[in-house]
């Protein structure tokens, strides 16, 4: 059974640029959630996708957008990057959108200069 994978591991961008982060969910999981974790903080929920549809969104601006594909992998896109977007971005998959434990990937460390 393959766990949750994320790419890239690290990324450096400059203010104003756009970035796409990728996540492959664990086999058999149809729900993917994205979180932003700033240094020394707990994760903050960005949004969740269930069977290719957005299934809830946290308090993030529209320049944070996402997609889920038929194979349940997912992308997080961030436009017009700001310095405060520097964080660890975590993807988690779960078997369905009910209350299940979420299995996290190793994260993508984004640095915005």
Partner 1 sequence: AQKVTQAQTEISVVEKEDVTLDCVYETRDTTYYLFWYKQPPSGELVFLIRRNSFDEQNEISGRYSWNFQKSTSSFNFTITASQVVDSAVYFCALSEATGNNRKLIWGLGTSLGVNP
Name the residue nearer to partner 1 (CB basis): 19 or 102: 102
Q: Which of 1, 39, 40, 62 binds partner 1 (CB under 8 A)?
A: 40
Which residues pair with residue 48 across a beta bridge? 33
Per-residue contact flags (x/-) with partner 1 for residues 52 to 91, judged by CB under 8 A: ---xx-x-----------------------------x-x-
- Cβ at position 16, least distance to partner 1 in Å: 27
What angle is formed at CA 78 by the lines to CA 76 and CA 39, rounded to 5 degrees?
Answer: 85
Name the residue nearer to partner 1 (CB basis): 10 or 84: 10
Which residues pair with residue 33 across a beta bridge? 48, 92
* CA dist 100 → 29, 39, 93, 95, 97 (Å): 11, 26, 10, 7, 8
Residue 97 binds partner 1, judged by CB under 8 A: yes
- Nearest Cα neighbor of 74 from 41, 49, 47, 108 is 49
Burial category of 89 from C-beta neighbours within 10 Å (exposed 0-12, middle 13-18, buried 19 and up): buried
Name the residue nearer to partner 1 (CB basis): 18 or 42: 42
Query: Where on the chain is the footprint of partner 1 (CB under 8 A)?
Result: 31, 33, 40-45, 48, 50, 55-56, 58, 88, 90, 92, 94, 97-107, 109
């Amino acid at each position: 059974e393959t766990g949750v994978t994320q790419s890239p591991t690290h990324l450096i961008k400059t203010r104003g640029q756009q970035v796409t982060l990728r996540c492959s969910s664990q086999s058999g999981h149809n729900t993917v959630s994205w979180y932003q974790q700033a240094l020394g903080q707990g994760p903050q929920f960005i949004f969740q996708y269930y069977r290719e549809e957005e299934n809830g969104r946290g308090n993030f601006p529209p320049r944070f957008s996402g997609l889920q594909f038929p194979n349940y992998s997912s992308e997080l896109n961030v436009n017009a990057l700001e310095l405060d977007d520097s964080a660890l971005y975590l993807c988690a998959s779960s078997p369905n959108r009910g209350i299940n434990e979420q299995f996290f990937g190793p994260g993508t460390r984004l640095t915005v200069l």
